[in-house]
Amino acid sequence: MFLLQIRKFIVCCGLVLLFATQVFAIDQPPTTAKQVVDKFQNELLSVMKKGKQSSFSDRYNELYNAVANSHDLTKIARIVVGKEWEKLSSEQQQKLVEVFSKLSVAAYTHNFKDYNGESFTFDSEEETTKGGVVIHSHLSIPDEKDVKFDYMLKENGNNWRIINIIANGVSDLALKRTEYTSILQRDGFDALISKINEKIDNYSKL
Amino acid sequence: MIFFCRININCKAIFTAMLIGAATISLNGCETTKTVNKNIIFNRADPYEGFNRKIYQFNEDVDNYIAEPVAHAYQAITPQFLQTGIFNFYNNLKNVNIVINDLLQAKFQQVAQDTGRFTVNTTLGLLGVVDAAKKLGLEQNNEDFEQTLAVWGVPRGPYLVFPLLGPVTARGLPGAAFDTAANPSTYFFGAPIQVVSVLNTRANAEGSIKFINEAALDPYVFTRESFLQWRKSLATDGRSEDNMDLDDVIEDNQPVDSDKVSFINEAKQFAKISQQFFNISKSFNQTSESFENAINKLDSLNKKNNKI
């Protein structure tokens, strides 16, 4: 009888422990670069699966957290304007980070709006000489050629954050940097912000 | 080196003359062309940006007023399976050109793969209309003569936009001429079939054009940068890491000695090219060694047979 009670107690303790570790695992933020990318890709797929049933603003709100928790948006915004960053006032820098973040999420919301059996597969991981990590993966789309997605991550504090995505060899950061710096130098800061706002507006209407 | 420089200078002069001529002809004949911003930021890869932007705008107008409506009409009257079939047919003929470039770049494994692809699609795939090779797991490699020239160490040259043809690099011009000459469709089909091929290509590019229009703040710069990066990625087989980590742009605020940087880049480029030549000669050596081994084996077999 006593032995039976001990056994029951051990089983209960085991179940409690299992439950506790699972809850802990869910709450635990991703610690490695690969985990950050995995989590982001899963969140992206989950929003895609909801598809057009959910509105643009619902998908936008859901993706905002996913993007903010996996990308270093402040650093990306600094890089895309290059040396021009130093010439901007702190208000302008803040404004740029704000609208750039909105544009990034709006672009994800628009481009990943429906699900047709797509899946992400991890290929490999490599460390760069400048202290970064590159996660090589690919997106499989049924009846279409795979799209190679390479994520460049850097450590920000204790967290790994995406700073660049290279799709089929085309670097998003390099592309944006050339585009943004040329608009800044040619047309000025206000023109750049109004162009970004125009794009955000277009994405929400498409 | 001097020889290449001379060629480069001559090419630059010829291209400038061609671009001036093309821009004058095309812009005079097109009233709808929009004003192009005169204040252009100099970009090393695109020294003719002013002219290129005008040609780009001309191409955009031609696309908006002619190519897009015609391609939409073509899409409306042509069933999807036929569009896919036409694409597959032309894509299969391209394999001949791909195999030649595989050989010129000494990529012998790809030679076998792409030859297999062409054979399977031409036979099982009903002259290429069905992409049977893909179903067997034989993915198509993307090789052309511009990439071959890049592997041989020919510099990229300036970025150019041609009327109706779109973006190209100076290195891509002889590349395009060679690729056209090496593609069987150039010789076997008349103008109407070629027009169908162009229409089909435009119809298939619908998604990409839409994406550029939606995403780009400056569609000209967006197209140029993505084109140059894509071509570089193809030429290096995805091994280029130049645009991956741009973090030092904000971390390194020290003034940059441009001459020093250019010298270092040239030295790196030279090292890269010599490494590529070394790799090519190494694979040729390996191939000749394997031929030698095969001949030796045949000899020994012959000797055995003679003894028997």
pLDDT at A91: 95
Residue that wins the pLDDT comparison between B39 and A181? A181
Q: Chain B, 139-158: which have a CB under 8 Å from a chain A CB?
A: 139
pLDDT of residue B32: 35
pLDDT of B24 > 50? The answer is: no
- Asked whether the beta carbons of residue A169 and residue B249 sit closer than 8 angstroms, the reply is no
Query: Which residue, B298, B233, B296, B240, is CA-closest to B269?
Result: B240
Average pLDDT over residues A183-199: 93
Q: Would you list which residues of chain A are within 8 Å, Cβ to Cβ, of chain B?
A: 75, 78-79, 82-83, 85-86, 107, 110-111, 128, 130, 132, 134, 145, 148, 150, 152, 154, 163-164, 166, 168-171, 173-175, 177-183, 185-186, 192, 195-196, 199, 202-203, 206
A132 and B245 within 8 Å at the Cβ level: the answer is: yes
Which chain B residue has its CA at the smallest distance from A196's CA? B217
Q: How far is A129 from chain B (nearest CA, A)?
A: 10
pLDDT at B37 over 80: no
Residue of A nearest to B217 (CA): A195
The answer, yes or no, to whether residue A75 has pLDDT greater than 90, is yes
Compare CB distances from A174 to B41, B43, B225 and report the shortest one's residue: B225
pLDDT at position B167? 92
Q: What percentage of residues in chain A have a pLDDT greater than 90?
A: 59
Average pLDDT estimate for B216-236:
91
pLDDT at B189 over 70: no
pLDDT at B53 over 90: yes
Per-residue pLDDT at A77: 94
Nearest by CB: B41 against A85, A185, A199: A185
Q: Quickly state the pLDDT bin for A105 (edges 50, 70, 90).
A: very high
| pLDDT higher than threshold 70 for residue A141 | yes
Chain segment A34-67, per-residue pLDDT in tens: 999 999 999 999 999 887 788 888 899 999 999 9
Looking at beta carbons, which residues of chain A come within 8 Å of B225?
174-175, 178-179
Per-residue confidence band for B158, with pLDDT thresholds at 50, 70 and 90: very high
pLDDT-above-70 percentage for chain B:
67
Do A170 and B218 count as a contact with CB atoms less than 8 A apart?
Answer: no
Quick: pLDDT tens for A107-132: 999 988 888 889 999 999 999 888 88
B269-305 confidence digits (pLDDT tens): 555 555 555 555 555 555 556 656 766 776 777 777 7
Nearest Cβ partner for A82 among B43, B232, B249: B249
